[in-house]
Structure 1
Amino acid sequence: MAKALMIDYEYCTGCHTCEVACRKSLGLDSGQFGIHILKDGPRQIEGTKKWELNYLPVPTSLCDLCAERSEKGMDASCAHHCPTHCLVVGNVEDLAIEVGKKANRALFVPLA
C-alpha cells in the first residue's frame, strides 16, 4: 500500500525540527533538504489590525518518506520529531480522507 505525508499547516510553528531530523536521518549536507520550511508573511490582513504569518513545510525531491525507517516499522524522521504533530505518515487512502476533513492540509505522495 502506498505511503503519503499529510501536512497540517495550521499547526506548524516553523521550528525547523523536521528539517534537522530529516537532514540527519538522510545524511544530507547543509543546504540540502528532504523537507524544507518556507515562511509566508508577515503581512497585515487588509481592513483589520490582524497580521498573518505562515510556515509551510514542503517535501523536496529528496524525500522518500524515510523508506529505511519505514521498513523497520518506524515513522518518517520528520513526523517522529515534529513537536506539534502537524506531519503524519500513513496510507494514501486513509490520509486522503483526513485531508478533506479540514482546511489548511496538504497531502504529499512521493513518486515510486
Structure 2
Amino acid sequence: MANIKKGDLVQVITGATQARGGDRGKQGKVLSVNNETNRVVVEGVNYVTKHVRQGQTQRGTKTGGIETVEAAIHISNVALVDPESKKPTRVGHRNEEVVKDGVKKTVRVRYAKKSGKDL
C-alpha cells in the first residue's frame, strides 16, 4: 500500500529553504504519483520553465511559447501532512473491520502517526 496518494496534502522536507529560493516547507496537494520512478507532482512546488513548440489550432490561433509547470520530485523528499495539526508526520497502516452490505471485511487503512517531534 502506498504511503502517498493523489489528492493528499504533503510538505516538502528537503532542499533549499524558501528564503534561499527553494521549496522546503511548502505544502501542496499531490497532482499525480508515478510508482515506477517513485516521483510525485505537487501543486505549487518545483516550478520549471518549459518551451512548447509553436502550433496552430483549427481556428488559426497560435499556441506554444514559454510555460511554467510543476515538475516531479522524489517521493522521499515529501512527507504527508497530519490533517489535525497541519504538520508533517509519518504514515502507519492498521487493519480495520468494515461492514458493508452486511458483510464483515478486514481492510488495511492509512493513518497519521502522532509524534512529539516535527520532521
Q: Please classify the TM superposition score into its range, dividing by the shorter chain length.
A: under 0.3
- TM-score using structure 1 length: 0.28
Structure with larger Rg = 2
Tell me which protein shows more helix as a share of its residues.
Answer: 1
TM-score calculated relative to the size of structure 2: 0.27
